[in-house]
Structure 1
């Protein structure tokens, strides 16, 4: 079959489900359209699920179980997929982040994942486990993903990374003093890299702070733009340039109002002294 996308079932839960769905369909000699008729959807929908571009709903998985006579195994697999610790939309964003040539991000509340030490990330997720927001397995999944994301940024040529942290990210303690000192050390080291810019948006910006939630803008190798924002339940990836350009403009306004890098690093170094 021409243009048949090969799947790596280990790359994501969606890919694992898609690979299994395709394998079951191939074993029966059905086309995507023939399976779609049995399930009650379109061949395009089947293609999107098989290639991991669309997560399976519980209803879709149950219908597939009936078509393949696989009991409730696909439905259970889809439930496990939805129980992952990652927000809907985030795994797709990570794929684009790994190949972006420029990354602009603004974070509130906690240090952004791309700048976290492993100990800081573990302390953050341990608190989520304590609150029973996630399981220990999901906490491990989140920390391991942070490590993998950071590793992709060491590629050559390195992407340009612009970071603006709300002052609250620095003042919220995570773990013990040693964890915070190591985290501040990493932030200072990050600011010294030739491909980075680190700024702090101080509290006294007040109403001049244009964003109230975290935001990321990616520039891809073809110079197209993409933005990503999160609510408490899901992430939203925006590819339409007409929608992304205003976000980028607002980000530039944020950078103009935030502390310059030298002053931002001085603030971090002052806080680091308090952890000694």
Structure 2
């Protein structure tokens, strides 16, 4: 018989998920391998998730819920599990993002995490640290599920034009990222504006920031440093950053012109390059 590690369901959300997965599987009279065959995953992966050695995904959770008739238990738990894997200092901010009804962001250095494509997110997270990169990328991308809610937030993003030219992860990765931004072009709840080089000195020169608005709670301003996040509801800070955001929107290109700029940079800087013989170059 395979040795079964003891799990403390109170140790962490990941341990609790593994405990509930094992409990439901055993109640159904299935081995790890049998469950894996049913949901099209390996029995080894089922075992690793049960013992909190591997991070589950939304797809895995949905398949197990369907196979074991758990009433969506694991699909509900997965949000808590993934949020618990974020850096401790960022977990409160992820909760704010999930609760906000309107999110306004200004980014001066890179695409905001809520709109990062897979390759781009992986390249950003992999700088100086390649450990657990698959899991960390999956955790970042899972935050984007706020746009799949029945009532998703209204999202405004102003990006410095320099972000389009800062090549992160190579031309293919950048093309994928810019195409991802363009995929929201006709989504009225996700609005992307470019702050062009021609704007010159602007109200966001002090750095990137987010504004999170809620139906009844105070607006939160969020700024970020190295390994630290700084949310605040200080009325003076909120007033100042709200005014700065208004000026940034006034200086930014229209939604249509912003999409055209993204499209032009994507084609001219990151489009397919071909050699003299017509073959595609990397």
TM-score by length of 1: 0.64
Matched residues in 2 for 1:10 and 1:119: separation? 27
How is 1:1-276 mapped onto 2 (pairs within 5 angstroms)?
9-10=12-13, 86=87, 89-126=89-126, 128=127, 133-137=128-132, 139-222=133-216, 224-274=218-268, 275-276=271-272
Partner residue in 1 for 2:67 = none
Distance 1:9 1:222 in 2: 31
Contact 1:89 1:237 in 2 (8 A): no
For residues 190 and 11 of structure 1, the distance between their equivalents in structure 2, rounded to whole angstroms, comes to 33
Provide the secondary structure at the position in 1 that maps to 2:138.
helix
Question: 1:186: how far off?
Answer: 1.0
Pair 233,263 (structure 1): closer, same or farther in 2 beyond 3 Å: same
Change in CA separation of 1:175 and 1:233 when aligned onto 2, cut-off 3 Å: closer
Q: Distance in 2 between matches of 1:156 and 1:211?
A: 36
C-alpha distance 182-249 of structure 1, shift in aligned 2 (>3 A): same
Unaligned ranges ≥5, structure 2: 1-9, 16-84, 273-282
For 1:56, the equivalent position in structure 2 comes to none
1:75-114 deviations in whole A, cap 9, x for unaligned? xxxxxxxxx873x632111111011000000112211111
Asked whether the equivalents of residues 229 and 235 of structure 1 are also in contact (C-alpha less than 8 Å), the reply is yes
Deviates more, 1:262-271 or 1:169-178: 169-178
Contact 1:117 1:183 in 2 (8 A): yes
Task: Supply the distance in 2 between the matched residues of 1:176 and 1:253 (Cα, whole angstroms).
Answer: 33
Higher relative contact order (CA 8 A, sep 6+): 1
CA contact (8 A) 1:216 1:227 kept: yes
Q: Using the alignment, how far apart are the partners of 2:233 and 2:184 within structure 1?
A: 28
Quickly say closer, same or farther: Cα 1:252–1:136, change in 2 above 3 A: same
* Partner SS, residue 269 of structure 1: helix
- Partners of 2:207 and 2:244 lie apart in 1 by 13
- Match for residue 28 of structure 2? none
CA–CA separation in structure 2 for the residues paired with 1:231 and 1:223: 25
Check the 8 A contact 1:110/1:169 in 2, yes or no: yes
1:11–1:93 distance in 2 versus 1, CA, 3 Å? farther
TM-score, normalised on structure 2? 0.62
Structure 1, unaligned runs of 5 or more: 1-6, 13-83
